Structure 1
Amino acid sequence: MKKIEIMVPDLPESVADATVATWHKQPGDAVQCDEVLVEIETDKVVLEVPATTAGVLQEILQVEGATVVSRQPLGYLLPGATDATPSPSLNETLAFPSIVAINHDAPAASEGAHNVVSPAVRRLLAEHDLEGSQLSGSGIKGRLTPQDIEQHLTKPVVPIKVPLANPVVTTLAPQNPLEQPRRVPMNRLRQRIAERLLEAKQSTAMLTTFNEVNMQPMMQLRRELGETFEKQHGVRLGFMSFFVKAVVLALQRWPIINACLEGNDIVYYPQVDISIAVSTPRGLVTPVLRHCAAHSMAQIEQQIKTLAQQGRDGKLTVDDLTGGSFTITNGGLFGSLMSTPIINPPQSSILGMHAIKERPMAINGQVVILPMMYLALSYDHRLIDGQASVSFLVAVKEALEAPIRLLLEV
């Protein structure tokens, strides 16, 4: 019976190579048609390689962690029966001892299937100083997944109460002088993030201007209409859609903020495509909201929800991550009060949102406690002058403090 090659899919033009992230099957495992065999990790997305037919995985050519290119063979699939237990004759032809050579970190069979982990899981275990044997896996054959580790880390710690009548005296073991720092390799996405951040700092004349916005009008509007909005549109009314519409309004007044430099030319983008920063288990990604000026707040909220879920599930495509003209990042989700966000090249500016904090403010000669947020606009001073940047940020502030402006577009 002729075996079928398992191939690396065509990589995007901007991606030269990729890394074999996780094999979901091992030689001898039965495979159903369209079942995911292996995941390929690039510096932008994770690509799934499914089986083109039912059969048995015969051989793995590229192990986890290997660097591969487009259309490179990853392994071989033997089409045919998919019984859960391969026949003895098939076991002999699959050369099971080669599995040990493929995965040097694979434990003995008696240790449990969940201890056979992917490079991504090994990296997370090392970063958080965890033992894989102490966790239960939800993956195929009980293998650990990144989600299992994330759920374990988010579980509340239950304190152990020790009766006073039986105190336990613990003696700290002396520190081992031979202990060495843990060395964990960066994944491709983290490497690419590091490269782009360094590029932005070294290749732009970046400057940041600040302002603050009174969030009370927006918060009041959400309290009054948030429930009705969710019932009618099937999505919650968040703050991000207000900021997106305010940015669209300000960019229409100051189009230089929605431009970029290419050599000695200024390139003005024909529409407003806003990248939003999304935190995922693999790192920070910036999927793009397309044609924001033409969409309602409900449509924007739905896009944000979809992109955020795809980011957490690793389902974003290269097209989802390219082509933005402006970026919004919300450090306030993690408690940041103020920051200087770094430009997302080739864009020329980025708006940073922060935590909402109640502060005493002077309003018409009276001290009033208001929910305030600091805004930060980082921009490339080679292209954008101070007047344009400050005026843009003031326009965003005015639109947010009087949301009716977003409806009237004034």
Structure 2
Amino acid sequence: MAIEIKAPQFPESVADGTIATWHKKEGDAVKRDDLLVDIETDKVVLEVVAMADGVMGKILKGEDETIESQELLGYLEEGGAAAAPAAAAPAAEQPAAQEAPAASTGTPAAAGPAARKAMSAAGVDAAAVTGSGKGGRITPQDVAQAVEQRGAAAPAGQSPAAAAAAAAPAAPGDREERRVPMTRLRKRVAERLLDAQHNSAMLTTFNEVNMKPIMQMRKDYQSAFEKAHGVRLGFMSFFVRACVEALKRFPAVNASIDGDDIVYHGYYDVGVAVSTERGLVVPILRDADLKGLAEVESQIIEYGSKARDGKLSIEDMTGGTFTISNGGIFGSLLSTPILNPPQTAILGMHKIQERPMAVDGKVEILPMMYLALSYDHRLIDGKEAVQFLVAVKNFIEDPARLLLDI
């Protein structure tokens, strides 16, 4: 019995998708819940799994083809899996040394969508790649390293001359170029960033914050906090709390523009920008005003893991009233973050760097961080933007204000 393999129902905000990777070839044995194909959209990677045991039948849509919601991708021949062991019986009589190549089919589940696509493009078997990610998970960097290490060895069926040519280093002076298509996510991010610049009156205001009080608090309570909550205390949770309190005082910064209307949000859904191999994504901490520091830290860690593995859902990234971007983890000292439409403001965090500062007429060396607030001047006046950023600064420099609500 042939079972239709269809694309999943795409959310309303997703028009179509692209076949990223087929993990089964025609004739491959398939078990229920095996991963069949990855579908890349402009927001997330969707996975289609087998609905029953069987054999992979006709594939109708190849990799890199554009598909629509619920479109037929191929067929699965249900109950045909029994034929695969029977056909493989003669091979069982061969010496174990001859069975080894067949066994190295890899484990796609040990790699994220980006890594699996890199392996497919390079013709690398997952079994030949050593994963350096969490739990031994394969990353795109691991794939690139495996390709380099494979350079001196000839793939099956390749002549020694061809292998030598492939492994030969580029001659001095060669100007090598490599052209690869943009991922759908990268294209979508580019469109949104251009849209933000073209359709908003974007300005950026700056301030600096003394991180010593927060750093001292982390030092004093890190062990007890981790023991009580099972998660480390980071800086991001403090900034989320500080921003939420500042948003309560300046509701225009938490608002959005819809045509000729201003939409004031009575809730605080804070987006946290996360950089991945596929591009920038912004998962949302919903009702951030109701979450404690530990819950914020746990959810950020969970989102980061899901983002690296391409497991974020549309729901994880839908909405948001304000965004925080932390370029400091990459060493950025100062930047002007771009708005995340339809939001009207975004806070940029940066690298903590010790600098000489004047304190009560004396020079002290303090760990300082530059903060940047980009905002839409159509809705937010300069006075509100500056006062919002000063409020965030005051909450960070004196965390007791967060408890006392002052």
The structure 2 residue matched to 1:136, chosen from 115, 128, 131, is 128
Q: SS of the counterpart of 1:82?
A: helix
1:81–1:332 distance in 2 versus 1, CA, 3 Å = same
Q: Does 1:187 align with 2:183?
A: yes
1:270-289 superposed matches below 5 A: 270-289=266-285
The structure 1 residue matched to 2:201, chosen from 202, 205, 216, is 205
Alignment deviations for residues 139-189 of structure 1 (CA, whole Å, 9 cap, x no partner)? 9xxxxx99343236689x9xxxxxxxxxxxxx993545xx66321100000
- Residue equivalent to 2:286: 290
1:366–1:315 distance in 2 versus 1, CA, 3 Å = same
- Residue equivalent to 1:35: 34
Measured after TM superposition, the shift of residue 299 of structure 1 is 1.1
Q: Does 1:231 align with 2:227?
A: yes
Q: SS of the counterpart of 1:390?
A: helix
The structure 1 residue matched to 2:252, chosen from 237, 249, 256, is 256
Amino acid at match of 1:151: D
- Residue equivalent to 1:9: 8
Amino acid at match of 1:173: A
* Contact 1:359 1:371 (8 Å CA) reproduced: yes
Amino acid at match of 1:3: A
1:406–1:59 distance in 2 versus 1, CA, 3 Å = same
The structure 1 residue matched to 2:171, chosen from 173, 179, 200, is 173
- 1 CA distance for matches of 2:388 and 2:258? 22
* Contact 2:322 2:343 (8 Å CA) reproduced: yes
- 2 CA distance for matches of 1:239 and 1:46? 30
RMSD: 3.1
Amino acid at match of 2:20: A
- 2 CA distance for matches of 1:118 and 1:392? 39
* Contact 1:126 1:182 (8 Å CA) reproduced: no
- Residue equivalent to 1:47: 46
Q: SS of the counterpart of 1:59?
A: strand
Q: SS of the counterpart of 2:128?
A: coil
* Contact 1:138 1:148 (8 Å CA) reproduced: no
Measured after TM superposition, the shift of residue 83 of structure 1 is 4.4
Measured after TM superposition, the shift of residue 126 of structure 1 is 12
- 1 CA distance for matches of 2:299 and 2:117? 31
* Contact 1:21 1:118 (8 Å CA) reproduced: no
Amino acid at match of 2:58: E
1:3-402 superposed matches below 5 A: 3-83=2-82, 85=84, 132=124, 136-137=128-129, 147-151=138-142, 173=171, 175-176=173-174, 181-402=177-398
Q: SS of the counterpart of 1:271?
A: coil
- 1 CA distance for matches of 2:234 and 2:173? 49
Count matched residues: 365
Q: SS of the counterpart of 1:75?
A: strand
Name the TM-score, length of structure 2 as normaliser: 0.83
- 2 CA distance for matches of 1:402 and 1:11? 46
Structure 1's unaligned 5+ residue stretches are 90-108, 140-144, 158-170
Amino acid at match of 2:211: M
- 2 CA distance for matches of 1:350 and 1:290? 16
Q: SS of the counterpart of 1:394?
A: helix
- 2 CA distance for matches of 1:249 and 1:184? 44
- 1 CA distance for matches of 2:380 and 2:218? 34
Q: SS of the counterpart of 1:225?
A: helix
- 2 CA distance for matches of 1:408 and 1:292? 18
- 2 CA distance for matches of 1:29 and 1:47? 21
* Contact 2:129 2:143 (8 Å CA) reproduced: no
Amino acid at match of 1:42: T
Measured after TM superposition, the shift of residue 138 of structure 1 is 6.4
- Residue equivalent to 1:168: none
1:294–1:10 distance in 2 versus 1, CA, 3 Å = same
- 1 CA distance for matches of 2:377 and 2:311? 35
* Contact 1:137 1:148 (8 Å CA) reproduced: no
Alignment deviations for residues 340-397 of structure 1 (CA, whole Å, 9 cap, x no partner)? 0000001000000000000000000000000000000000001100000000000000
Alignment deviations for residues 77-101 of structure 1 (CA, whole Å, 9 cap, x no partner)? 0111424836559xxxxxxxxxxxx
Amino acid at match of 1:16: A
Amino acid at match of 1:149: P
- Residue equivalent to 1:99: none
* Contact 1:7 1:75 (8 Å CA) reproduced: yes
* Contact 2:115 2:139 (8 Å CA) reproduced: no
Alignment deviations for residues 297-332 of structure 1 (CA, whole Å, 9 cap, x no partner)? 111111111111111111111011011000000000
- Residue equivalent to 2:95: none
Query: After TM superposition, where is structure 1 displaced by more than 6 Å over at least 4 residues in a row?
Result: 116-119
- 2 CA distance for matches of 1:55 and 1:235? 43
Alignment deviations for residues 58-113 of structure 1 (CA, whole Å, 9 cap, x no partner)? 11111111100111111100111424836559xxxxxxxxxxxxxxxxxxx99x86
Amino acid at match of 2:138: Q
* Contact 1:136 1:148 (8 Å CA) reproduced: no
- 2 CA distance for matches of 1:51 and 1:197? 37
Alignment deviations for residues 39-58 of structure 1 (CA, whole Å, 9 cap, x no partner)? 11100011111111111111
1:66–1:269 distance in 2 versus 1, CA, 3 Å = same
- 2 CA distance for matches of 1:148 and 1:252? 41
- 2 CA distance for matches of 1:213 and 1:132? 48
